[in-house]
């Protein structure tokens, strides 16, 4: 098989078989799908975050009165704890903690934490299914967006309770990067090559292996969970990979249109862009949080 300069196989108008005009992939249809998926993620995420905050309010915790204090026993390690004022009085995390966090009420630990975890697992499973079964993208991508919205809503609410405004900052930054990469692609300032595509793919797999290994190593890796320079470097690299992945996604869309891909590829291509957007948002959220922790 021959390949294009960007590493993608050379297609012909008949590659997907006979397709009628109404059944061909279009640019408008693709971006309508993308807008729909983004709306599902956003609305579901906002509802989940609102529910998350309501649990704390029902538990008598005033989230507007969270005070961040240093752990005097661990000053050199830059470890922090939090004191929260609630209806039941003032309390704080006792003992040594390795990372900054806020204690969750039992109801949150149970129901909401489970819902967020299920959202992550379901979203990941559906994403893997869509990647290997593009024909089902129209049916499964909305379910993926719904699942990811639940997961992102919970994660965003958690960060918001520690650093108010950080989720909105990450969202605005993600949209800005998406727009910038699209403009650069549309003006032909950026185009994927076979070499750049291979480098990005290998780097993505390497990053994925690092994240997976971190789950099984006691205490995790400092470059993944810590606030040091190494963690910042990893986050910046991840954001760079996610940003360049937009260029690859846009190129897939243009090739699908040029070579008359079937209609279901609109949903598949939009799913690919959404997958990259979710990844970029999470990495920016982590990067901003680490940066703020280091400045405290």
Condensed to tens digits (0 to 9), the pLDDT of residues 124-168 reads 999 999 999 999 999 999 999 999 999 999 888 878 877 888 999
**Where does the chain show beta strands of DSSP type E?**
61-70, 80-86, 89-92
Per-residue pLDDT for 68 more than 90?
no
Higher pLDDT, 65 or 171: 171
Q: Is 239 exposed, middle or buried (0-12, 13-18, 19+ CB in 10 A)?
A: buried
Residue among 19, 1, 20 at smallest CA distance from 11: 1
User: What backbone torsions phi and psi does residue 87 show, to the nearest 5 degrees?
Assistant: -65, -25
CA angle 205, 145, 235 (to 5 degrees): 35
- If one compares 236 and 111, the residue with the highest pLDDT of the two is 236
DSSP 8-state assignment for residue 109: I
SS3 content of the chain, % helix, strand, coil (to 5): 70, 10, 20
**CA–CA distance, 145 with 267 (Å, rounded to integer):** 12
Residue 278, burial from CB neighbour count under 10 angstroms (0-12, 13-18, 19+):
buried
Helix axes 27-58, 113-132, angle to 10 degrees: 160
Give the pLDDT score at 64: 52
Residue 295's pLDDT is what?
Answer: 67
Cβ neighbours around 182 below 10 Å, total:
17
Confidence (pTM)? 0.80
Close Cβ partners of 231 (under 8 Å, ≥ 6 residues apart) = 222, 223, 224, 225, 290
CA atoms of 278 and 32, how far apart (whole Å): 18
pLDDT of amino acid 110: 57
* Separation between Cα atoms, residue 79 and residue 38, nearest integer Å: 36
Q: Which two tokens stand for residue 11?
A: 């297609």
Residue with tokens 């869509």: 130
The residue ranking higher by pLDDT, 74 or 229, is 229
More confident call, 253 vs 74: 253
In whole angstroms, give the CA distance from residue 118 to residue 183: 36
CA-based angle 231:125:111, to the nearest 5?
80
Asked if residue 183 has pLDDT above 50, the reply is yes
Counting Cβ atoms within 10 Å, is residue 285 exposed (0-12), middle (13-18) or buried (19+)? Answer: buried
Opening angle at CA 55, ends 175 and 150, nearest 5: 35
DSSP state, residue 272: H
Percent of the chain with pLDDT over 70: 72
**Statement: residue 94 has pLDDT above 50:** no
Residue 112 in this model has a pLDDT that exceeds 60: yes
- Mean per-residue pLDDT for 94-122? 60
Q: Could you tell me the residue ranges of all domains in the chain?
A: 21-59+105-295, 62-103
Residue with tokens 């966090």: 101
Q: Which of the listed ranges 43-47, 57-61, 225-229 does the model predict with the highest average pLDDT?
A: 43-47
Average pLDDT, the chain: 78
The alpha carbon of residue 96 and the mean position of all alpha carbons in its chain are separated, in whole angstroms, by: 30
When mean pLDDT is compared across 2-11, 126-135, 243-252, 253-262, the lowest value belongs to 2-11
Please list the residues that pair with 81 across neighbouring strands.
Answer: 69
* Residues above pLDDT 90, as percent of the chain: 45
Q: Degrees (nearest 5) of the Cα angle 236, 237, 241?
A: 115
């Amino acid at each position: 098989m021959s390949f294009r300069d960007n590493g993608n196989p050379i297609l012909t108008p008949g590659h997907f078989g006979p397709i009628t005009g109404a059944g061909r992939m279009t640019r408008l249809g693709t971006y309508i799908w993308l807008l729909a998926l983004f709306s599902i993620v956003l609305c579901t995420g906002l509802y989940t975050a609102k529910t998350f905050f309501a649990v704390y309010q029902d538990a008598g915790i005033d989230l507007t009165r969270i005070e961040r204090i240093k752990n005097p026993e661990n000053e050199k390690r830059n470890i922090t704890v939090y004191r929260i004022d609630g209806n039941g009085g003032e309390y704080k995390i006792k003992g040594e903690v390795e990372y900054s966090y806020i204690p969750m009420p039992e109801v949150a630990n149970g129901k909401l934490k489970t819902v967020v975890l299920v959202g992550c697992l379901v979203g990941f499973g559906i994403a893997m299914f869509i990647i290997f079964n593009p024909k089902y993208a129209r049916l499964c991508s909305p379910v993926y967006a719904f699942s990811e919205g639940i997961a992102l809503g919970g994660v965003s609410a958690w960060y918001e309770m520690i650093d108010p405004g950080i989720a909105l900052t990450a969202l605005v930054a993600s949209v800005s990067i998406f727009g910038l990469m699209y403009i650069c692609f549309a003006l032909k300032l950026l185009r994927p090559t076979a070499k750049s595509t291979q480098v990005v793919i290998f780097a993505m797999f390497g990053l994925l292996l690092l994240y997976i290994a971190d789950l099984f190593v006691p205490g995790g890796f400092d470059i993944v969970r810590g606030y040091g320079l190494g963690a910042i470097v990893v986050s910046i690299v991840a954001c760079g990979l996610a940003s360049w992945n937009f260029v690859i996604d846009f190129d897939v869309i243009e090739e699908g249109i040029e070579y008359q891909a079937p209609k279901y590829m609109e949903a598949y291509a939009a799913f690919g862009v959404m997958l990259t957007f979710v990844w970029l948002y999470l990495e920016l959220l982590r990067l901003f949080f680490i940066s703020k922790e280091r400045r405290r």
